[in-house]
Structure formats: C-alpha cells, structure tokens
Structure 1
Amino acid sequence: MTSDTVKVFCRNTNEEKEVRIGTPLTELIAHFGVKMPYLIANAKVNNKTESLEYRVYRPKTIEFVDLSDSSAMRTYVRSLCFILAKAVDDLLPNAEMYIEHAVSKGYYFQIESDLPVGKPELDAIRNRMHEIVAADIPFVQVEEETGKVVQLFRERGMEDKALLLETSDLLYARYSKLEEYIDYFYGCLTPSTGYITMFDIQPHNGGYLLRVPNRENPVELEPEIRQEKLLNVYREHLKFLKISRLDNVGDLNKAKREDRMSPVIQVAEAYQAKQIADIAEEITRRFAEGVRVVLISGPSSSGKTTFRKRLEVQLMVNMLKPVGLSLDDYFIDRDKTPLDAYGEKDYESLYALDLQLFEDHMLRLMQGEEVELPSYNFMTGTREYKNHFLKMADNSILIVEGIHGLNPELTAHIPREKKFMVYVSALTSISLDDHNWIPASDNRLLRRL
C-alpha cells in the first residue's frame, strides 16, 4: 500500500483492494465490478449508511445496497421528494407544498396555491419532474454555520426549516441544492436526479399521491390501494396539531423552550383519553347487541398494552367487567414450535399458538362455562395448569391483546357479530418540516429504545 492509497474491503464481491485516497463510492462500484439486480442508491460504510458521493480516506468495509434494501429505498424517496419540491416551486413559486405521511403505498401531499391545482397543473408538475430527471442535475451538499443556514431558509420563506434548525442547538448545518433551489433532508440523497427514473403523481382523496417503486419488485410502481380510514385518522390528528400550534417538530422544540410542554402533554393525554372513551362507548353499545370479545392488535411497540389498560378502565366506568386472556399462555410446547426459513424457532408465527385450545376456551367462556386457563412456563417451555379457573359474569367481556389479535384464523369459529376489533399503531402525524415526515416505524423504534 502506497502513501496515496487505502485498503477497502467490498462485501458484495468479497474482495479487498487498494484504491486512491479520496475515491468516491460511485467509482468503487465499477472498480470492484459490483452487479446488483436493481438500482444501487447508497452504501453501508463500516455499517453506516452513506451517500454514493462519500469519499474514502481511511480503510473501510463497504457494502453497496440496491432498492431492495429499505435504506436505499429511503434514499430514493428523499431524492424524489426533492425533485417534486423543485418542480412545484418552478411552476407555482407562490404555492406551499406539504408532504404529510405514507399512505396507500405512496406518500400523500397537499399543495396550497392561490390558483386551483387540477389535472393540467398536475400534468405540468409531472412533466417538469421528468425534465429535471433527464437533465441529471447533481444534488449539491452545502455545510455552513447554522445561523447562516437559518437566515437563508428564512429569506426563502421556509420558516418550518428555519425554526427546526434554530431550535436544534447545532453549530453547523447542511442543506442541499438543486440548481438554485434549496431544501433540507435528514439522510443521504442519490448523487444526481438521473437516478430517479420511476415515479408518478396523481390526485388522491382531496390531495395528491406520490407513487414510488415497489419494495419487493423495484422495476414497477407500488400498486395504489385505498386506505381512507388511515387517511382520515391522519387528517383528524393534523387538525388537532394545528389547534395546538404544533405544525412541525420545530414548533414542538419552541414549545419546550417556552416552557409550554406541560399543557401540550396534558392536552394530548386528554385527546387520547377521549378517543378511548369513545371506543369504550361503542363497545358498550355493541355489547347490548351481542359482542363478547374485544380483539386488540398492532405492530411491536405500538402501545397495545397501554391502550388495553386504559380501555379496561373506561369499560368499567361503563359498568362492564373486562376479563383479559393472554395469548402468551397458549404457546405450544417449545419443542413443537414451527421453524422459520432459517431453521430457527419462530415464536411470532401464528402456529406457535395452540389455536384449537384457545378457540375452545373462548367459545366455552362466552357460553357461560367455567374454564381452567393454562399458564406458560417460559423457563421450561411447557404449558402448566395452576388451578386458575375463569367464568364470565353477565356483564363480562373478554379482552384479547397480541400481534395476532386480528388474524381471522385465531377466532375462525367465533361469530363475527360477537367480536369487536381494534388496531393500535403509533402513527406519527407531526412532521420534521413541510417536506420530511417521521416514519411510524422510526417512532416505534424510539419507543422500544
């Protein structure tokens, strides 16, 4: 190794080579002869996601990733949003665009303009996006003192970004340029607009939908699916945020600086309590019509247990007696647990549960019989019985919580009219700024940490 070279190991080809110090990752793709099924959008450098513009100055281990990888897809979507923002600004310079949340396998956005934005305007924006892509304009990263960046965004009328950076306590901040248009994105972008060849925009439920490549097969677009209920939940929460003067995270940071967090938390807690009380009222009404079991499901770290406990309190206020059944107690013996694709025991599989026993107990309880409930011993991996008997009273209602709570196979023989189903998810309606949302999966990860 000479003084002007550095060793780089490429996991894709399982090779180590000496490369010139300062070589960008874009050149290393060809240098190592990396071939991947789909577009390479970024790389993991020492397991940290970096842009393909990243330059190597020290020994590194590099793994290039294509659009089948979630981090590469995020890089693609960020770059696409930048192109969309520039196209809107080019054609409607006085308009405001808000990219609000992921829905219907795409990203929902709104455009506020003095003029109506109909099909002709949307077609013009789409065409302008294709022009920007065809021009293969580089995304330029600029780093300056945060105060100067804040002033720059404020001069451009981007108060959402200015406020977020102003309340971040960062000494220096980076922003991105696409010709003379500037924006701020929280993660790497593709080297240039020419990488972004697959997308579409279309009207969607009072706004617009930015369509992106399919996560499983990135050579085609994600199919549009209807998610009106999810969209309406987001809209309701956005109204709540506007009333609370919390349009973006910068507003939340400002509230903390102004010592307004206590009332913000109190209002948020009261808002959730009202929603849970409304659900309890609906369950009580349906109880009179025959509902006898509440099934609660949701992804990991979504708040299922907290929701269940608060729902039980509201049900007791309505003179119902909630009775909880733990799905964990219905695990089959460990040595019978099904295996996953890697030959490991799959404890999250529906078939890791004794479905027949669980459903039998549910039916018998709802028929007024007394049932001896099992208790699963996680030390021995076996089911035990400890004389724990349960019988439902006239005003009892079963509460079942778990990731498989809404799986039809779990309660296949229980009549639908006896079931009330609730899906819980930690949706994130507040955004970082007008062009950067917070993925719900990131929110759940923070809750887990």
Structure 2
Amino acid sequence: MENESFYLTLPQSTVEVYLPDGRVIRGERGKDVQKFLRVLPEWDNPPIVGAIINDELRELTFPITIDARVTPVTMADTDGTRIYRRSLTFLLEAAFEELYPDYMLTIDHSVSSGGFFCQIVGNGKISEIDLPRLETRMREMVQQDIAFTREQVPLTEAIQYFKDHGNEDKVRLLKYRQKDTLVLYRLGVHRDYHHGYMVPSTGFLRWFAISPFGDGFVLQFPRKHSPKELLPMPAYPKLLNTFHRYGKWLNRLGIESLGALNDAIHSGRIREIILVSEALHEQQIAEIAESIVNHANQIRIVLIAGPSSSGKTTFSKRLSIQLLAQGILPFPVEIDNYFVDREKTPKDKNGEYDYEALGALNTRLFSEHLQKLIAGEEVQMPKYNFKTGLSEPGEIARLQDGQVIILEGIHGLNPQLLPSIRQDQTYRVYVSCLTQLNLDLHNRISTTDTRLLRRIVRDATERGYSAQQTIQRWDSVRRGEKLHIFPYQENADDMFNSALAYELSALKPLAEPLLRQVPFGVPEYIEAKRLLTFLDWFLPVDSSLIPDNSLLREFIGGSILHDFKLWEKSEQGYLNY
C-alpha cells in the first residue's frame, strides 16, 4: 500500500534552528544566522560572535538555508575570543591606516592580561603617534557600526593590491599560496586577509583600550573568563625584553616574517637557518649557565618552570651539560615525588584531583629536604607511587661539594614553593616558546598554537595519543598555566626562549597526518581544521636536517638527550653525579 505520509512539495519559506538545549528558533529561510540568534535572551551575555552550524564553525553572516543544528559561539569560548580579537585587530589596522597612512603598524605578540603588543616599524616612532586620537577614531567606527565585507578575490588581484600598498611581507607570503583565490575583508577603504573569521560589523567591538607601553603600545581586549571587562595590565619587562631580543635576531637573519622563511626554504638556505637557530639556543643556555657559575658561591638551587610543551626537559639537560662543562655538578630532584597521598590532594571545581595545585605537594617536606641537602646532610627522599597514590620511601641522597640542585616543575617560580629557602640561594629560569616569527606584520603566530602542535606530535610519538585526545585536554592544560605559571613569570632571574624560527615548517609534515585523522562531527574537529588551514601557509622542512640534540627533538623524537641522566649511585649508596 502506498505510504501517503511522503510526497513531493515546495520548500517552506521558513527554516528551523535547533539549539543544544532543545530550544528551536524558526525564521525566514536564507537569513543570516545572527538574525536567528538575536532573539535569544542571552544574545549579549556573554556576547555571541559566531556559531557552529552542523558541526562547522561559521561567521554570524552565514545564511541558514536549511534546518540546522546551531551552537552559539560567545566571547567566553576559545573560538569566540579569536573571532573578537581578530576583528579588533582589523579595526585597529583600518583606523591606523586612515590616520597615519605613511607609517607601518605591526602586531607583535600577546600580553597575558589580554592584549597585543604593537609597534611602529620602519622610520616611524611611537612618539609621533597620537594614541588617544587613534583610540577615539576606533570608538567612532564602533559607534558607526560599519560592516566587515567579506570577498573572495583572485590571488593575483590580492597580490597586486598589497604590492600597490607597499605590503612586501604579504606579497612574499602569498607567492607560495597553493590556492588561486584569497578571502579579503574590507572595512571602508582598508583591505586585508586574516587567518580566520570576523564579526559582522564594528558595533560588536565595544570592549578595548589602547595603552602606551615601552617603545610601542598594547591593544587591550577582554579575556574569555570576563568577556566584558579589561584586566589591569601588569608590567612584564623581562618577557618583553625576551620577545625583543628574538625579534632583533630574526631581523638580522633576514627572516622577519613567514614569507621570508619560505623564501629561505625555497632557495635551499634552510640548513643555514637551522644551524644558526640552534646556535642561538646554545648561546642562550651557555649565558644562563655562566650566570649561575658566576654566583656559584651563593646559588644552590636552580628552578626551571614554564608552560606545557616549552621544552623544559631538554633545556634542563642542556643546561646541566653546560654547567658540567664549566665545572658545576648538577643534581636533579623530581618535584613530582613530593606529591601528598592522593586522599589529601586538593580537588578542582569538578571534584577531580588537582595535581597542578600547589597544595598537591608536600612543600614542608620538600623545603626541609632541600635545606638538608644544601647543608651536606643525608636525605631519605620520597618516591610517589602513581598507581597506589601513596608516597613511599625513595633513594638516599647526599650532595657533593659544589653541586647545584636542578628542579623542574610548574611551580618553580612561585615564591610559596620554597618559602624557607633564601632567595639568593636560588636561580629561577622561565622557559617558554616565545615566537616572534609572524605570518606578516598584521597576522601573528600564536605561541600557544606552536606549543599545541609540538604536543600533538609528541603525544602521538611517545604516548600513543591521537590529535583529538591532545586537543581535548588542551583547554584544561591552558587553565592550569594561567593559574600556576603565567602570574609568576616575571619572578624569573632569566628567561629562555625555546622558539625555533624553522620549527613549524618541520612540524608541518608530522602534524598534518595526525590532524587529518580527527573525524568530522567531534568537537575537536573545528580546532584540527583551523590548525590544518594555518599550516597551509608553511613550506615543509625535512626533519632529518634537525640536529639530534635540538630542543625540537623532544617533540619529534630522535633526541640524543632522551636517556641522558645526571646521577648514579655512589659506592656508599647515595644518589650522586
């Protein structure tokens, strides 16, 4: 019998949007998704700046032509913060070009309190720029609610546009683009490409400030945990100096942007770039070791801290080798062995054990043992059993004369870790991947993206994790860094920049196959797709060219330092070098 419930018909004039919480919005077919989402009472709390439509990240201008599953993306979400910051940067570019057409602006690096450090490049000076006037013009443009126009143009047209405007950094980058088209955004007469989506119009960009800082200024924006609030901007002279030092080195090498690096790879100069990059690392490590040696009569403990995938393990080993070469005997102590019993471990807001909290460590016993070791006494060290969650008796240790204790851990810069140890007895080193190599003057490369790609490759090689699993854990890792590491980075006596100019080109052929395995439809797919699009800008580098003691080998495998150890048992049964 024919089923009369099914029949051909004409499309209805309306479509339905299904939200994750079960609510349904009906509206006119073909209208932008923002028109659907504006009916929500939470439209502006926190502000919605994008949407995930049928498992794909989209702009709010994306038309809804069929019934769709839609998840709002807000400024409290990672993708939402990217959309907002990218759009705010574009607004800054447009206002700056209007007011100062003879100057060149560069977006350099992020500021932990929420912001981008910006500079004037070329012959211009920051003193010649009226920052209050610039901010006022940006706010006027926000009030005018000017639309961001998205247009896909032939690549040749885009290249010619940037040639005409003197943007040689963009021209160099685009000549290696594989696609024959490029998406440009327009705001008034200003045009540029950006690595990712934008808000529909300037009216969305209500929260920002411009603050003078050093030889530049900071474009401040909200953090995702407080999307309508600007946080106070702390001073960070040591970190800023580290960024500047690396930027100057890149300029001397002639690879101040990714286009220049691609030129070096294309012309066969990558061996030189690798060798000089590695030499810079060795120089930095030798300088840190020399500082320790110069104060060897005081310094007894070297503390090393930094965010995930910064290369702390390889740095610790290479620093130890440099110290050995200069006559100092390092003695490593594993902070993880000082975990309290699992039942005493603090819990996070989800009721899970928080091993990253300082309270997860027996700081009293830790400090007591270090004091005894410094005094030359014998110590029965603990050994934490991760299977049972109990602290057990470990090895017996005693330092030789002139030995220095090496500690690596996330709390290394926190003054509460060793409150009873005199500050002049410690030397604190902050290790992080502080890249200054950007796509071009306006499109920065996130240091976080570099670390995530390092971790994806390492987790697959050493731990058997898929890229999806690594991406899934990344937000939790980042929360721990913001809580336990970044607030203390200026406590460091020295900073080691673990970034390598060529590393994303070397990670590209290793990371891409892993990212392509993330299946469509899972939450991590959007991030995997974003990273794959990002890596498209890079020419690949063969990992066989990378030295076997390179810090990058910690993540791609093949490090000669993998099994390097600093201690062994003495004839008396003590742990010693």
TM-score by length of 1: 0.93
**In the aligned structure 1, how far is the partner of 2:106 from the partner of 2:125?**
16
1:255-334 equivalent positions in 2, closer than 5 A: 255-288=264-297, 290-334=298-342
Q: Are residues 351 and 46 of structure 1, via their aligned partners in 2, closer, same or farther at CA, if it must alter by over 3 Å?
A: farther
In structure 2, what residue type is equivalent to 1:89? E
Q: Which amino acid aligns with 1:172?
A: T
Helix, strand or coil: the match of 2:399?
Answer: coil
Residue number among 143, 149, 155 corresponding to 1:134 in the alignment: 143
Say whether 1:152 aligns with 2:152. no
Which range is displaced more, 252-261 or 149-158?
149-158
Structure 1 gaps, min length 5: none
Q: How many residues were matched structurally?
A: 446
Hey, what's the Cα distance between the residues in 1 that align with 2:190 and 2:398? 67
- The match for 2:51 is 43
**Does the alignment pair 1:408 with 2:415?**
yes
Tell whether the 8 Å contact from 1:147 to 1:166 is kept in structure 2 after alignment.
no
Q: Check whether the contact 2:154–2:180 (CA below 8 A) recurs between aligned residues.
A: yes
- 1:365 is the counterpart of 2:373: yes
Provide the rounded CA distance (Å) in 2 between the counterparts of 1:162 and 1:62. 37
Residue aligning to 2:427: 420
Question: 1:84 is matched with which residue: 83, 92, 100?
Answer: 92
Q: Match for residue 443 of structure 2?
A: 436
Matched, 1:52 2:52: no
CA contact (8 A) 1:6 1:19 kept: yes
The counterpart of 2:33, out of the listed 16, 20, 25, is 25
Question: Given the alignment, which residue of 262, 266, 272 partners 1:253?
Answer: 262
1:398 and 2:415 correspond: no
Per-residue CA deviations over 1:419-440 (Å, capped at 9, x if unaligned) read 1111111112111111121222
Distance in 2 of aligned mates of 1:115 and 1:365: 55
Amino acid corresponding to residue 159 of structure 1 in structure 2: E
SS at match of 1:409: coil
1:103–1:230 CA contact under 8 A, matched in 2: no
Task: Say whether 1:93 aligns with 2:101.
Answer: yes
Distance of 1:114 and 1:326 partners within structure 2: 50
Of residues 165-174 and 91-100 in structure 1, the stretch that sits farther from structure 2 once superposed is 165-174
Structure 1 residue matching 2:98: 3-state secondary structure: helix
Report deviation, 1:74.
2.2
Letter of the aligned partner of 2:199 in structure 1?
A: T
SS in 2 for 1:23: coil
Q: Which residue matches 2:566?
A: none
Distance (Å, rounded) in 1 between the aligned partners of 2:26 and 2:340: 54
Shift of 1:33: 4.7
Whether the 8 Å contact between 2:25 and 2:36 is mirrored in structure 1 is no
Q: Please identify which structure carries the higher strand content.
A: 1
**TM-aligned CA distance change 1:214 to 1:394, over 3 Å:** same
The answer to whether residue 183 in structure 2 is matched with residue 174 in structure 1 is: yes
Q: Which amino acid aligns with 2:311?
A: G
Deviations along 1:246-285, whole A, 9 cap, x unmatched? 1111111221111211111111110011011000000111
| Superposition deviation, residue 372 in structure 1 | 2.3
Whole-Å separation in 1 of the counterparts to 2:44 and 2:138 = 26
Amino acid at match of 2:316: R
Which stretch of the first structure deviates more once superposed, 376-385 or 358-367?
Answer: 376-385
1:48 CA drift (Å):
4.3
Q: Percent identity?
A: 37
CA distance in 1 between counterparts of 2:414 and 2:130 reads: 43
User: Is the deviation greater in 267-276 or in 189-198?
Assistant: 189-198
Q: What 5-or-longer segments of structure 2 have no aligned partner?
A: 1-8, 457-577
Letter in 1 for 2:149: V
Give the superposition deviation at 1:46.
4.3
Contact 2:182/2:193, CA 8 A, preserved across alignment: no
Letter of the 2:208 counterpart: F
| Offset, 1:342 | 0.8
**Cα RMSD (Å):** 2.2
C-alpha displacement of 1:198? 2.6
TM-score (norm 2): 0.73
What's the secondary structure of 1:432's corresponding residue?
A: coil
Whether the aligned pair in 2 keeps the contact of 1:22 and 1:55 (CA below 8 Å) is yes
CA distance in 1, matches of 2:121, 2:271: 32
> CA shift at 1:32, angstroms?
4.7
CA distance in 1, matches of 2:330, 2:371: 16
In 1, Cα distance between equivalents of 2:347 and 2:277: 42
Among 75, 80, 84, the alignment partner of 1:67 is 75
Residue aligning to 2:361: 353
- Residue 122 and residue 58 in structure 1: after superposition, are their counterparts in 2 closer, same or farther (change >3 A)? same
Deviations 1:157-184 (A, max 9, x none): 2222222222232232211111221011
